[in-house]
């Protein structure tokens, strides 16, 4: 069965660009109609959807992130990535990657274990 | 954007109790609603999609109902392993918004 695993820097300074990668195992990132998503959760708070990407590179981002987000996919490595620019303390969160069932059925399953990111000043 | 609310924000119940959580959308989302369980320190786990379809492998003690703007997650016969925060999520169109969560603990 498909498993996802996030990786990232853990700690990043304010105003820098955050880069995270999600590695997919147990299946191909190009399989079927699946999309691939990033979701984050600030400490002690709820979940915020960041965006999703298809294996062809088609992507859609949450407008709340005001153009700071870029996603990419590397089918040869079975990975997809998130870049978030101009980070501030409000970007401190656990970042999860997840599979999206399809373009019209946008529920998330499975999820990775999450990678914590702290933005320091 | 469509806003999602949940009630209650937290509850405490006894083992064996029937528990109900309500999720409301600020606009009609038909049945484009999912429910997740997030145990402490763990990622969310999909329980239900399409408002009422149980994800494969999820206990039949969980059930979902509703359509339009009001939805309910029911846990029959609460177990200690059900201690978690439960989130609803709408997915009729992007952005895909989650509710604020309902934290359940066991008395």
The answer, for A111 touching chain B at a CB cutoff of 8 Å, is yes
* DSSP strands (E only) in A45-104: 48-53, 59-61, 69-74, 79-84, 93-100
Contact A49 B95 (CB under 8 A): yes
pLDDT digits (tens, 9 = 90+) for B37-63: 999 999 999 999 999 999 999 999 999
pLDDT at B1 over 90: no
When pLDDT is averaged across residues A89-112 and rounded to a whole number, the result is 95
Q: Which residues of B touch A110 (CB under 8 A)?
A: 46
Structure tokens at B97: 């918004």
**Confidence at A103, pLDDT banded by 50, 70, 90:** confident
Among A106, A110, A116, pick the best mutation site for testing chain B contact (most B Cβ within 10 A): A106
| Predicted local distance difference test score (pLDDT) of residue A104 | 87
pLDDT at A46 over 90: yes
Residue A80's closest CA among A12, A14, A2? A2
When pLDDT is averaged across residues B64-83 and rounded to a whole number, the result is 97
Residue B65's closest CA among B19, B16, B4, B23? B23
CA distance B10 to chain A (A): 13
| Predicted local distance difference test score (pLDDT) of residue A32 | 82
**Confidence at A120, pLDDT banded by 50, 70, 90:** very high
Task: State chain A's mean pLDDT as an integer.
Answer: 96
| Predicted local distance difference test score (pLDDT) of residue A66 | 82
The answer, for A59 touching chain B at a CB cutoff of 8 Å, is no
pLDDT at A96 over 90: yes
| Predicted local distance difference test score (pLDDT) of residue B5 | 98
Separation between Cα atoms, residue B30 and residue A55, nearest integer Å: 28
C-alpha distances in Å from residue A84, one per residue of A15, A31, A78, A102: 10, 26, 21, 24
| DSSP state letters, B5-61 | EEE-SEEEE-TT--EEEEEEESS--TT-EEEEEE-TTS--EEEEETTTEEPTT--TT
| Cβ-contact A20, A95 below 8 angstroms | yes
Residue B25's closest CA among B5, B7, B9? B5
- Report the share of chain B in percent with pLDDT over 70: 100
Structure tokens at A52: 């999703």
Q: Is B63 exposed, middle or buried (0-12, 13-18, 19+ CB in 10 A)?
A: middle
| Cβ-contact A104, A85 below 8 angstroms | no
How many Cβ atoms from other residues are within 10 Å of residue A62's Cβ?
19
Residue B101 makes CB contacts below 8 A (sequence gap 6+) with A46, A47, B6, B9, B38, B85, B86, B87
Residue A31's closest CA among A56, A4, A6? A56
End-to-end Cα distance, chain A: 40
Contact B100 A46 (CB under 8 A): yes
């Amino acid at each position: 069965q498909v498993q996802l695993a996030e990786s990232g820097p853990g700690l990043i300074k304010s105003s820098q660009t955050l880069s995270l990668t999600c590695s997919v195992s147990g299946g191909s990132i190009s399989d079927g109609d699946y999309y691939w998503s990033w979701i984050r959760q600030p400490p002690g708070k709820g979940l915020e959807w960041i965006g999703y990407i298809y294996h062809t590179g088609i992507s859609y981002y949450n407008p709340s992130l005001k153009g700071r987000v870029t996603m990419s996919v590397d089918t040869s490595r079975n990975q997809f990535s998130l870049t978030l620019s101009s980070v501030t303390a409000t970007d401190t969160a656990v970042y999860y990657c997840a599979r999206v069932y399809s373009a019209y059925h946008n529920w998330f399953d499975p999820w990775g274990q999450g990678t914590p990111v702290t933005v320091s000043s | 954007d469509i806003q999602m609310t949940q009630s209650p924000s937290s509850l405490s119940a006894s083992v064996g109790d029937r528990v109900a959580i309500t999720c409301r959308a600020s606009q009609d989302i038909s049945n484009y609603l999912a429910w997740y369980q997030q145990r402490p320190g763990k990622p969310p786990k999909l329980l239900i999609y399409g408002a009422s379809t149980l994800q494969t492998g999820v206990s039949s003690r969980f059930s979902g109902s509703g359509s339009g703007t009001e939805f309910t997650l029911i846990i029959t016969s609460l177990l200690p392993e059900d201690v978690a925060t439960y989130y609803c999520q709408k997915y009729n169109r992007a952005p895909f918004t989650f509710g604020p969560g309902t934290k359940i603990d066991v008395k």
